[in-house]
Amino acid sequence: MIQDHDNLITALNNKCKLIIGDGFILKQSNGDGHRIIMYNNIGHLKAVNRLDGSAASEVDVYNWFGCYYLYVEVKFVFAPKVPRGKRTAKVVVNQCSISISVFKLLDEKFIQLFRAEWDDFEDNHSPHPQPHWHITSDTSVANTFDEYAREFGEDGFMNILNSEKEQISSLNKFHFAMKGKWEEDMTHSMSIESSEQVSNWFAGLLNSIRTELEYIDKK
């Protein structure tokens, strides 16, 4: 578990300047400043960041390239811990969470395509693979249909849409594994150990995403 959170944010911001642009920077936002510290990017436009289940929040998004936008959030949770062989508790990071959301602007409306996340817990007992993907485009499109149907009063269409949505298991709660250790010990989680490790993962991930988005846009 990484403990030097300031160094991690500095490393990520240095990578962001190279692969996203000079205007992209992670700044401390909310949190209580003691038990929880959060960082996220600043943007000029707002989009709905859809999380697990029905949870959602409005966030700043930054124009990455073309019609694609980013929202990045890093959260550190602190808790007291008594080191082995000691009597006095020390406040340490016991959770580090990184979330990267990719949006596409279509007809003046943001569609959240997916999220990449990496959650690391001090007890290393996450039930989900780490890091992982969340596919959110199905939820975004379904909500767009809901909004149009309500606006135009298509009650029959709404009934059909709701019926179909109930029959299909939503994928927005599914944690699609990104990088497990299956070839080593059949485990599905990687621990966050250093700023270099995370910043290299971050840069490689965004380079890969951009390559694929540019590829499908050429089709």
Q: List the chain domain ranges.
A: 5-136+172-218, 138-170
- How many Cα neighbours within 13 Å face the side chain of 167? 6
Taking a C-beta distance cutoff of 8 angstroms, is the pair 73, 85 a contact? no
Q: Is the pTM of this model over 0.85?
A: no
> Measuring CA to CA, which residue among 63, 85, 83, 60 is closest to residue 73?
60
Using CA atoms, how far residue 178 sits from 78, 109, 189, in Å, is 26, 28, 9
Exposed / middle / buried, residue 18 (Cβ in 10 Å: 0-12, 13-18, 19+): exposed
Sequence letter at residue 124: N
Using CA atoms, how far residue 3 sits from 25, 116, 179, 194, 195, in Å, is 21, 22, 22, 9, 10
pLDDT, residue 40, reads 96
pLDDT, residue 179, reads 81
Sign, Cα dihedral of 135, 172, 138, 67:
negative
The pLDDT profile of the chain, 219 residues, written as one tens digit per residue, is 788 889 999 999 999 999 999 999 999 987 666 689 999 999 989 999 887 656 788 999 999 999 999 999 999 999 888 777 777 878 888 899 999 999 999 888 899 999 999 999 876 667 788 888 888 765 544 455 455 555 555 555 556 555 555 544 566 677 878 887 777 787 788 888 899 999 999 999 999 999 999 999 987
Give 81's DSSP letter: E
